[in-house]
Structure 1
């Protein structure tokens, strides 16, 4: 990886922290805080919104909201909480590890950024650029907890730079499209071997990355004044990850038995498509109702099947993800010429099934409650604030009978999670 790309990853502060598995904010490991405006209404009506250019993440046609050169910068500060109770755990030889317990410091606060720039080319066409983090997760259980043979650290970082064009066909139809360059990294770490002699235990760490491409399409309609409909589609992104695995504290007995040695690794993973359908209705001159349904094609991610450029057997982790929907409803109220208020609720269904839930994917269904607002300093500049409380269903990880866990042992653990998210943004026109 080049120095410049390393800087981009560090500067974007992509790590979203719910223990080694999923973002606290959205089901799976999708990130949905790309706009403080949208977050304040729990994404209700987002793909049909006429408020600002940040809705273009879900529908590129909405870059037509820019009447002048516009910059929108948003950041979400995620404050997750997670309690893990280890009911039972053992290594591959059956040695009981339950007493080692769970880690207490695997969840950290973090910041997720988003940036948009729009430049009208003429009265009907707008060019746009955006930088987003569509997918991300980061968590570190540490190397001493009871489930360390299943996971110690997991991270995914996906940064997308998009180039878009949006065109207003007439008074009620707008179209948009973008091409995207994605830069992604994956980190997978866990203990290997067994606790007792002769194998003992060591640590294996995989780091891999790739650059890939995607696209988005969108249409925004206003069939009658005050009624807006939007449909946006973000494509799947195919990654061919390449990197290496490095082992530490692996003795000769373990290295010989499991054929462990530092080596190159590869795996192909498809990040899912996202389809967003929204409706906005002006109920009064000041009050707007927004509804959204988002379908994420998680079924494209069948799992991890890491191929080692050595004699070591492939490392397999089945995800068993299912395509899922998120539903939301939001209200926007123009309190005055200066102040706009928002609120919303959402239900975000997890793609993870009970059978394949793991220490790397301890994900549960989420419910959001959001509030927010925008203050207009003048016709050119505004500031937006949003607060979201995310309630995550309690889930259990029960890894006791899968063939792919033969070298990992068994784990039974309960997870209790929640999160608070504060989002702020500045919108400036020139």
Structure 2
């Protein structure tokens, strides 16, 4: 019974990565949020994103900003994330106390984050639109031979979102908007299966993978207020995304002790509530050329208090019981300040700085959630080739606070994974390129 519980705990622990500050590869946004939805907004570290007058890409944070379109408009953006993570395993042991060694290299992978927006006026002061984004995702792989392989070996999580939006300019000072969103989520989670002998038994270690996907529906709402000429205040809210991932577990070389307890391929599901995001943006024109901006973004990470996974009976007709892991994530803030300067009638330059706070508590940080607070340093610009075409570029350096994963065996969910003490040094270079065209 002990072995069964410990195995289940490990699988739950792996599944939790989907929702928890999970991605070893996600170093741009705290937790596992991706914030690369506009090359324009990235140029000043998202400062004023929910109030921006620049183009329609700010509608990700505030759908009321679709009213920036005076005619049909297409905006396409892509961000190349080049992360680096140095992992040093100071010590590790299996559940039986056997010492484990092994280094992890090339843990994080470069990724491309796309974003597409289209807006079309449908009546006087009313604009409809479609958009495609990837609000959560990325992947990472420690490999099967590193010291913490019972805690994590591979992770891939992705949420893709298609949204239909509408915005209306109520008056000269107020615009409102909303969207209906369809989210497609998928996950792959993998970890080594302990043989309770540090891989030293004749049978050796096993390996397990969980795969699941789901489709969910959400919404966003927003308002833009312009109390005076040159002053814009925007507020947008994106709802929680409630997923119930369904899929299959698969295993290689399952140790006999675990196989006798019913560890085999089986249907599984787990419910995950991805967090809501509320964005407040401010833009203030200082003069005809200079604009200052600020953002405060609140993410409701506390929706991820725990993760629960359930299994159907496998081929042996043994149903593994539900298992629960606690995260106790904290709601957190993102703050940024930025400047935009109109050099001439074609060129605009931007810069900004941001502080992004992690929802992960020290006592629950794991190899799948080596997340900590981070600072952004951004600059970028836009060049208008013609009245109908504009190119946007941005660069952001993301510096993640050095952090440690210390799993000393005191939490019940580590009974099947053993102990791990590892240090992490992480940063990322993010290059964004955008293009918008008016028809």
What TM-score do the two structures reach when normalised by structure 2?
0.91
Contact kept? 1:118, 1:128, Cα under 8 Å? yes
Aligned ranges 1:94-113 → 2 under 5 Å: 94-97=97-100, 99-100=101-102, 102-113=103-114
> Counterpart in 2 of 1:185?
186
Match of 1:55 among 55, 58, 64: 58
Report the CA distance between 1:312 and its aligned residue: 2.9
Contact kept? 1:39, 1:386, Cα under 8 Å? yes
> Counterpart in 2 of 1:8?
none
Contact kept? 2:285, 2:291, Cα under 8 Å? yes
Match of 1:425 among 411, 419, 434: 434
> Counterpart in 2 of 1:136?
137
Q: Does 1:331 pair with 2:331? A: no
Report the CA distance between 1:308 and its aligned residue: 1.5
Question: What CA deviation, in whole Å up to 9, does each residue of 1:173-196 have, x standing for no partner?
Answer: 000000000000111110112223
Aligned ranges 1:365-376 → 2 under 5 Å: 365-376=373-384
Contact kept? 1:174, 1:220, Cα under 8 Å? yes
Match of 1:255 among 228, 248, 259: 259
> Counterpart in 1 of 2:295?
292
> Counterpart in 1 of 2:423?
414
Question: What CA deviation, in whole Å up to 9, does each residue of 1:300-357 have, x standing for no partner?
Answer: 0124322111333445443321100000001000000010000000000000010000
Aligned ranges 1:150-299 → 2 under 5 Å: 150-194=151-195, 195-197=199-201, 200-256=204-260, 258-299=261-302
Contact kept? 2:28, 2:398, Cα under 8 Å? yes
Q: What SS does the aligned partner of 1:377 have?
A: strand
Match of 1:302 among 292, 302, 305: 305
Question: Gaps (5+ residues) in structure 1?
Answer: 1-14
C-alpha RMSD of the superposition: 1.5
Alpha-carbon distance between aligned partners in 1 of 2:180 and 2:323, rounded to the nearest angstrom: 33
> Counterpart in 1 of 2:5?
none
> Counterpart in 2 of 1:343?
351
Report the CA distance between 1:20 and its aligned residue: 4.3
Contact kept? 2:22, 2:31, Cα under 8 Å? no
Alpha-carbon distance between aligned partners in 1 of 2:307 and 2:98, rounded to the nearest angstrom: 26
CA separation of 1:19/1:79 partners in 2, compared to 1, >3 Å: closer, same or farther?
farther
Contact kept? 1:48, 1:220, Cα under 8 Å? yes
Report the CA distance between 1:199 and its aligned residue: 6.4
Question: Gaps (5+ residues) in structure 2?
Answer: 1-17, 314-318
Alpha-carbon distance between aligned partners in 2 of 1:316 and 1:37, rounded to the nearest angstrom: 42
Contact kept? 1:228, 1:280, Cα under 8 Å? yes
CA separation of 1:20/1:329 partners in 2, compared to 1, >3 Å: closer, same or farther?
closer
> Counterpart in 2 of 1:5?
none
Contact kept? 1:22, 1:361, Cα under 8 Å? no
Alpha-carbon distance between aligned partners in 2 of 1:154 and 1:20, rounded to the nearest angstrom: 7
Contact kept? 1:79, 1:108, Cα under 8 Å? yes
Contact kept? 1:199, 1:253, Cα under 8 Å? no
Which deviates further from its counterpart, 192-201 or 221-230? 192-201
Report the CA distance between 1:77 and its aligned residue: 0.3
Alpha-carbon distance between aligned partners in 2 of 1:385 and 1:251, rounded to the nearest angstrom: 52
Report the CA distance between 1:200 and its aligned residue: 3.3
Report the CA distance between 1:284 and its aligned residue: 1.0
CA separation of 1:303/1:140 partners in 2, compared to 1, >3 Å: closer, same or farther?
farther
Q: What SS does the aligned partner of 1:171 have?
A: coil
> Counterpart in 1 of 2:413?
404
Aligned length: 411
Q: Does 1:26 pair with 2:29? A: yes
Alpha-carbon distance between aligned partners in 1 of 2:123 and 2:131, rounded to the nearest angstrom: 20
Question: What CA deviation, in whole Å up to 9, does each residue of 1:241-270 have, x standing for no partner?
Answer: 1101000111433311x4311000011100
Contact kept? 1:19, 1:139, Cα under 8 Å? no
Contact kept? 2:22, 2:371, Cα under 8 Å? no
> Counterpart in 1 of 2:394?
386
